[in-house]
Chain A
Amino acid sequence: MSKRTDSPETEQPKESWVARWTTLEDIERTLIDKPSSGFEAWARTTAGVVVMLLTLQVVTGLLLAFYYIPSTESAHTTVAYIEKVVPAGSWIRSLHHYGSQWLTLALVFHLAQMFWRSTYRRRPVGWMASVILLGLILAAGATGYSLPWDARAFFGTRVTEGIAGGLPVVGDAARSWLLGGPEISPITLARFFALHALIIPALILAVLAARLFVFRERGLVSAAEERRLEKWMHRQVMRNAIAAGVVFIALALFSLMYFAPLGPPADTAAPGYLPRPGAQFLWLFQMLKYLPGRAASVIAVALPGAIIFGLAMLPFLKVPLRRVMVHPRRNIGAVLFALGFLLFTGLTIAAYIDDSRNPLTREQFRRQEAEETAFRNAEFTPLRARTSESVSIESRTGGAPMQNDNGKKGGQTSPSPEGSASPVATGNNPGSPPESYITHCSACHGTRGQGAPMFTKLLGVGSKPRRSVEDIIGLLNDPLAYGIEPPMKSYKDKLTESEKREIAEWVASLK
């Protein structure tokens, strides 16, 4: 039964462009649930807040990706660059950092609100999508925490690793798959980045797509009902927009006032460093304190997993639960939900209180905070890029020690045999290529024999078989005879014999 046929000719306003050319109205119908008003209608605006915060996470995440490099050498420097140099950088990073915590909270409120209205019974798909989304957002938060590669991130990764490793049976496999090896390494950071920026967002999109485009959760209704629902929907969209706007303004101001934390780099952390997880994981962190070793690991994975799974399966448990929740005992479910909520809040608050009560912890946190402030206020120091070219230059110029952002040595630091301390090299330097090399060879092989993308590097050639000085001269005359194929061409007539010899001698000396 089609909705449009009841009122055919006169009254029905012309089908709008949106209705005719887009599926937006179908999506709107998918989203409509039983209308409500007053407090209940406003409580339901958690949906709009979640959508807004999720979109904001995507947008700010994409922006950060324009500067961030997921390598252990560069990650921390690029994040520091975003924080200290790029205009609006620290605001955008704050939005992303605190936004993820707000989003977690908004999703919890969203689930509470849906539970309270028994939505999971009427809209099982919508309910399950929200539960899975919460799990994915938590996973995104855990993986994202490692990406700045500061001390906090490093220890966060340690804890994640420890929890994964403590799993029964699959512990060791889970740990090494997560880390990409037996210990935290550059591979780990790359994996966390791939999970955080590619895999998890893809899964989130898949869940949203399933929610919006695949499942239809409404029976057919009369045209009058349809009309009424649509009107209500329009008002509800407005409520959602207002709620989302208010939350956005709050988050925007919050992010202006508070920096996203960024400490000194991971490998410079002083002993005694006290890491703390993001606010959305504090309850878990606090709980681990009360549980002994191995059990803690199991519970740290099992509990959130069980909660997420249990909540997701709620629609399928409808027979017994419904019996329990029928009036007048329907409050049992609500009580359980409220207890869980209180437990999480209580644990989170306990974590804060524990830290503020212990004088030793307080002292350590003060030190760390001072460290972070000092690092934040220090001017940005660029990373010394270590191209093969710069390394060879450094070794030539006496390997002047290079300070990068981390305050550790960034370049080749072994003193050069020449012992020249001058940062400036002149053409007389023994390592310099002959003029003829620069003219004829450097365009492809690089000014120091370091090669170029698609072109052979000449460093170390001299130690290979058939590459003596005489061989190189022969090769210049007839590359094919030495197994060298185009684009390398013959220089038989382009170079004089003495030029060939000086090039060959220089190339053979390259290490």
Chain B
Amino acid sequence: MSDYDSNRNTQPKEVDRGRRAFLLWVPVGIFAGLAATVATAAFRFLRPAKSLQEAAWNDVAPLAELTGEKPIMRSIVAEHHAGWASTLEEHFVYVLPQKGNQVLSSICPHEGCNVAWRAEESQFFCPCHDSYFAADGERMTGPSRRGLDPLPTREKDGVLQVKYQSYLNNTEERIVRG
């Protein structure tokens, strides 16, 4: 026998229980509201940046230089904005004079190494995982799931220009990043 028992018996049980539930739920509710407010802000704060900035047009070469049978390699320097930094990045592209000056990215669609033109076989070849592409960029053999990626081009004042984009690698479809 203790004070505890007598104490307890003098109180109406139902009221006591309801009161206790209330006492429990008020703080829980307040803390939940508080946490939800901060969590909402945290979600917005951490959500990945939506899209990359629209790429600019870069000169590739004067049209007069783009002749001949085989693909011509050129380098472009594109400005790249991501987050708080802006970098100048050098990219390599192949111009196909035989295909209306189509411009192919040299990035292998498999895992992103630079593909090389092999004149003796008239093929593009990726030295990393042995993917082969035809002279027009079509996929031939190897692990790559699609052909080389063409880039948007335009001609301006007798100069071929390209808009450098990067694509998700290792997909069958061509999906632009950003």
Q: Which residue numbers of A lie inside 8 Å of B, CB to CB?
A: 6-7, 11, 52, 56, 59-60, 63, 66-67, 74, 77-78, 80-81, 85-89, 91-92, 222-224, 226-228, 234-235, 237-238, 240-242, 244-245, 248, 252, 380, 382-385, 387, 389-390, 393-394, 397, 405, 422-427, 429, 432, 435-436, 438-440, 442-443, 447-448
**Interface mask (B63-95 → A, CB under 8 Å = 1, otherwise 0):** 000000000111111000101111111101000
Q: Is B127 positioned at the interface, with any CB of A under 8 Å from its CB?
A: yes
A-B contact pairs, 19 of them (CB 8 A): A11-B9, A59-B42, A67-B84, A244-B34, A245-B30, A245-B34, A382-B85, A387-B87, A389-B89, A393-B88, A405-B84, A424-B58, A425-B76, A425-B77, A427-B61, A429-B75, A438-B106, A443-B113, A448-B90
Q: Is B27 positioned at the interface, with any CB of A under 8 Å from its CB?
A: yes
Interface size on B, residues (CB 8 A): 53
Residues from chain B with Cβ under 8 Å of A227 in the complex: 4, 7-8
Binds A, one of B18-26, B97-105, B131-139, B149-157: B18-26
> Would B38 and A59 count as touching, CB distance under 8 A?
yes
Instruction: Identify whether the interface residues of B are mostly helix, strand, loop, or mixed.
Output: mixed
**Nearest-CB distance from B171 to chain A (Å)?**
21
Residues from chain B with Cβ under 8 Å of A424 in the complex: 58-59, 76-77
- Choose from A7, A91, A242 the contact partner of B30 (Cβ within 8 Å): A242
> Would B3 and A222 count as touching, CB distance under 8 A?
yes
**Nearest-CB distance from B23 to chain A (Å)?**
5
Residues from chain B with Cβ under 8 Å of A405 in the complex: 84
**Nearest-CB distance from A221 to chain B (Å)?**
11
**Measured between alpha carbons, how far is A435 from B127 in the docked complex, in Å?**
13
**Measured between alpha carbons, how far is A440 from B126 in the docked complex, in Å?**
9
For A443, the closest partner residue in chain B by CB is B113
- Choose from B8, B44, B74, B84 the contact partner of A74 (Cβ within 8 Å): B84
For B25, the closest partner residue in chain A by CB is A238
**Measured between alpha carbons, how far is A442 from B92 in the docked complex, in Å?**
11
Residues from chain A with Cβ under 8 Å of B92 in the complex: 438, 447
Knowing A6-B4, A88-B41, A427-B61, say if A385 contacts B75 (CB, 8 Å).
no
**Measured between alpha carbons, how far is A435 from B75 in the docked complex, in Å?**
10
Residues from chain A with Cβ under 8 Å of B127 in the complex: 439-440, 443
Residues from chain A with Cβ under 8 Å of B24 in the complex: 234
> Would A56 and B38 count as touching, CB distance under 8 A?
yes
Residues from chain A with Cβ under 8 Å of B7 in the complex: 224, 227-228
**Measured between alpha carbons, how far is A284 from B12 in the docked complex, in Å?**
57
**Interface mask (B13-55 → A, CB under 8 Å = 1, otherwise 0):** 0000000100110110011011001100110111100000000
> Would B77 and A393 count as touching, CB distance under 8 A?
yes
- Choose from A86, A384, A426, A442 the contact partner of B87 (Cβ within 8 Å): A384
For A10, the closest partner residue in chain B by CB is B5
**Nearest-CB distance from A447 to chain B (Å)?**
6
**Nearest-CB distance from A123 to chain B (Å)?**
22
> Would A241 and B87 count as touching, CB distance under 8 A?
no
For A77, the closest partner residue in chain B by CB is B84
